[in-house]
Amino acid sequence: MNRRDFIKYVGIFAVMNRLFVKEVSAKETSFVAVAEGKDYGAVTRNAINALGGIGRFVKTGNTVVVKPNMGWDRRPEQAATTHPAVVRAIVEECLKAGAKKVKVFDNPCNDTRRTYENSGIAAALKDLRNVDVRYMEEERYRKVSLKGTFIKEWELYGDALSADVFINVPIEDALADLNSTVKSHLVVIDATRILTAHGPTGGSLRDVKVLNKVIASTDIVAADAYATGLFGLKPQDVPITVTAAKRGLGEINLEKVKIVKA
């Protein structure tokens, strides 16, 4: 399975537009912040601030990699990629926290140039200093041993591996293997608009439901468990969430999760 096939395999979770930060602190009570509003930048900041702010994760001098979902040649309103306002808010917060460099990239399944342009993300960041929006380069991949159940080794991008903070968009055992190796600290889910059918690529605005929500958590499983409800599902209905919970990556039982409106 190559990288592009793996991205296609991800399915519904690709359109949920999750972003992750590596490194996990000591065990803590699972906490999910849900912010809602039409100003997507402000909503994103509200969700992150409810967790204590980006300063919990990004320190002065850090190099940060932000890997939003730019997998498809789609416009923001088609809900197949991360909304540019959400990405910009996260990048701005990283810079305010003292990050010396923020790198933003993805490995699209569609034409890279068109995908970067039509997602609106590159344009949304072009005026920010110390932000590097670039195409991923084949020679920068490094083969890494995962010692996983499904994936034993995988080629991961060197810039992501060497970053101080990694914000990423990555099913079942495969994703559990990856997240066991690159553990998540901050999880941000762009639910400003979601695809209700024909994911992950979408295309028709008839399949888009506008929710104006952004979800943030330090628990990747709890965040996904909450987000499944947005699709009318239960966490136990989604194999990836069940598998991740069994692997000890987070809390699937929402009765044990503290949920706050930011």
Query: Where residue 156 falls among pLDDT bands split at 50, 70, 90?
Result: low
Give the pTM. 0.83
Nearest to 109 by CA among 3, 34, 214, 186: 3
Backbone angles phi, psi at 83, to 5 degrees: -65, 135
So what's the pLDDT on residue 168?
53
Measured CA to CA in angstroms, residue 140 lies from 134, 158, 159, 210 at distances of 13, 5, 7, 37
pLDDT band at residue 240 using 50, 70 and 90 as cut-offs: confident
Q: Which of 18-27, 79-88, 144-153 has the highest mean pLDDT?
A: 79-88
- Quickly state the pLDDT bin for 143 (edges 50, 70, 90): confident
- Is the pLDDT at 174 greater than 60, yes or no? no
Residue-wise DSSP of 114-169: HHHHHHSHHHHHTT-TTEEE----GGGEEEEE---SS-SEEEEEHHHHH-SEEEE-
Residue 210 has pLDDT above 90, yes or no: yes
* pLDDT recorded at residue 5: 47
Q: What number is the average pLDDT over the span 99-107?
A: 93
Give the pLDDT confidence of 1-18 residue by residue, as tens digits.
444 444 443 433 444 455
Choose among 32, 126, 110: nearest CA to 71: 110
Mean pLDDT of the region 156-180: 61
The yes-or-no verdict on residue 157 having pLDDT over 60 is yes
**What does the pLDDT average to over 135-149?**
69
Residue-wise pLDDT for 35-53, tens only, equals 999 999 999 999 999 999 9
* Spatial separation of the C-alpha atoms in residues 103 and 131, rounded to whole Å: 6
Q: Out of 30-44, 61-75, 127-141, 165-179, give the one with best mean pLDDT.
A: 30-44
Residue 32 φ/ψ, nearest 5 degrees: -120, 125
pLDDT tens readout for residues 55-90? 999 999 999 988 888 989 999 999 999 999 999 999
Percent of the chain topping pLDDT 70: 75
Per-residue pLDDT at 20 exceeds 70: no
Share of the chain above pLDDT 90, in %: 50
- Asked if residue 182 has pLDDT above 80, the reply is no
